[in-house]
Amino acid sequence: MATILIIDDDQHICEVLEAFIRREGHRSLSRQTLADGLLQLEQAVFDLVFLDVGLPDGSGLELVRRIRSTPGEPEVVIITGAGDADGAEMAIKNGAWDYLQKPFNLKEITLTLKRALQYRENLKASSVKEPPFDSQGIIGSSPIIHDCLTTLAHAARNNASVLITGETGTGKELFARAVHNNSGRKENKFVVVDCAALPETLKESALFGHEKGSFTGADKASEGLVKQADGGTLFLDEVGEMDLPLQKIFLRVLQEKSFRPVGSRTELKSDFRLVAATNRNLDKMVSEGTFRSDLLYRLRTVAIELPPLRMHPEDIQEIILYHTGAICRSFSIEPKGFSPDFFQMLCAYSWPGNIRELVNTLEGAISKAGQEPILFPMHLPDSIRVHVARANLKGGAPPSPTTAYQVTKSPQGATAVSPVLVPEITAAPSFPSRPEAMPSREEVLTEADQAYLRHLMRVTRGNIKESCHISGLGRTRLYTLMKKYDISRLGWSSAEEASGDELHPSPPPLD
């Protein structure tokens, strides 16, 4: 028996689906807003969510990843009366199981329900047998990174070709190495081929090797990179830079797993697993005639699209803390602490160079600080400080939490940098001087509770565990107060939004 949640503001749709689900022998529950749906998903484990797109407090499409990351990791079926191709694409890319248009017929909804639940049962059965997965230093717990790691873990268990795409600095080689190091080939070589740096006149020799005397300067036979990867993994970095003649040659190598060294009459075999990466749009290159479609199909058996850092800013804190410890160890210095405005500035910057730029900036700040125990904004490059200052003047920077960090040392002598998020303390309210206008104590406390909870949800980005830690409230008590004051995990009350109240800033992006 599965447990299914319906999030739809149409009461009639909810009643019809609930009756259908019960007839199929499952439990069901319905909610009419995203906020109430998310709250319910935190309180109980669900197997499947039927999710409407147009809801009073937002679009269901934007929260598919968030819903998939709740404790039950439910499958999500989008149901909408205004379906379109772009919405379907967004839903599928965010991890939705299916995208159905209203009105849907009974056969269609029955098949979708059965297939989704069958898939979950198969997934549970196979996960019991799965070996442990080592993320190899890939830092991040956001839903979008979780999806990438899930795909990576599946890819590592077989020999299918993997194509990793993403902007410069998103960690493509790190993911490629994680595929290799979690596979059955991890005891053999991981061979990197930088396609952008292959010498024009010697690229075939570099890849496939050559015989002695096959060209001027070939004083002895040489083994190419493809042969070195025999039994291991061949990583084609920047594969989009490979020219068309070499693409044609390499396509045959992929198909046959054999090649001929330059100047040789004999073909050699190489049993390698291929992982490729690029920051270019290969589909666009195919349409322009600069990349072979048949090679792209070979490369993209499994696709992993890494997001830019601006799409998962909630991971910045974790990345900073991880790399600060590693950098301090490499410099043989004590771990650094952070001033609240140092961390706030790092979170406000857009990081066009992604994680690589963030880590390099952090390393520069630690180097500049020397033996100083705390990092301040003054330790950051002027370019970043100017960018954030300009954004603040334009009103473009989102409100950030006040954050304290402490450096701790264990009894064994190990050091650690720990964040402590503290909601901002607002100025004391002013009260009227006339006795008859004075509010009751209960009214003041209620208003303070509402403001505190609303802000707490914003600074923790709706993380209930962290909210309990900061506030000192138990989970049940926190949920009770949130329900009492109509405060959602999104950080505002649905009543305020409906009335168009602009006293409170909009919540930060959720994905």
Question: Rounded mean pLDDT of 421-441?
Answer: 53
* Average pLDDT for the chain: 82
User: Is the confidence at residue 31, as pLDDT, over 70?
Assistant: yes
Q: Is there a common fold for 3-127 and 143-213+222-307?
A: yes
Fold (topology level) of 143-213+222-307: Rossmann fold (3.40.50)
- Name the DSSP class of 210: B
Question: Rounded mean pLDDT of 166-179?
Answer: 95
User: What pLDDT band is residue 341 in, cutting at 50, 70 and 90?
Assistant: confident
User: Is the confidence at residue 409, as pLDDT, over 80?
Assistant: no
Give the CATH number of domain 316-422.
Answer: 1.10.8.60
Q: Please give the Cα distance from 169 to 341 (Å, whole number).
A: 25
How many CA atoms are closer than 13 Å to the CA of 46, on its beta-carbon side? Answer: 27
Q: Please give the Cα distance from 368 to 379 (Å, whole number).
A: 6
CA distances to 66, 199, 259, 315 from 146, in Å? 11, 38, 38, 11
Q: Would you kindly state where each structural domain of the chain is located, as residue ranges? A: 3-127, 143-213+222-307, 316-422, 435-499
Q: Please give the Cα distance from 312 to 322 (Å, whole number).
A: 16
Side chain identity at residue 475, one-letter code: R
- Name the DSSP class of 133: -
Q: Which structure tokens are listed for 491?
A: 């950080």
Fold (topology level) of 435-499: Arc Repressor Mutant, subunit A (1.10.10)
Say what percent of the chain tops pLDDT 90.
43
Q: Which residues contact 181 (CB under 8 A, 6 or more apart)?
A: 134, 136, 190
Q: Please give the Cα distance from 255 to 270 (Å, whole number).
A: 11
**pLDDT tens sequence across 450-500:** 877 887 787 777 777 777 777 777 777 777 788 777 787 654 443 433 333
Q: Give SS3 for 265.
A: coil
Q: How many residues does the chain have?
A: 511
How many CA atoms are closer than 13 Å to the CA of 265, on its beta-carbon side? Answer: 0
For 3-127, CATH number out of 2.40.37.10, 3.40.140.10, 3.40.50.2300, 3.30.70.100 equals 3.40.50.2300
Which residue is listed with tokens 């072979």? 292
Helices (H) and strands (E) in the chain, counts: 20, 18
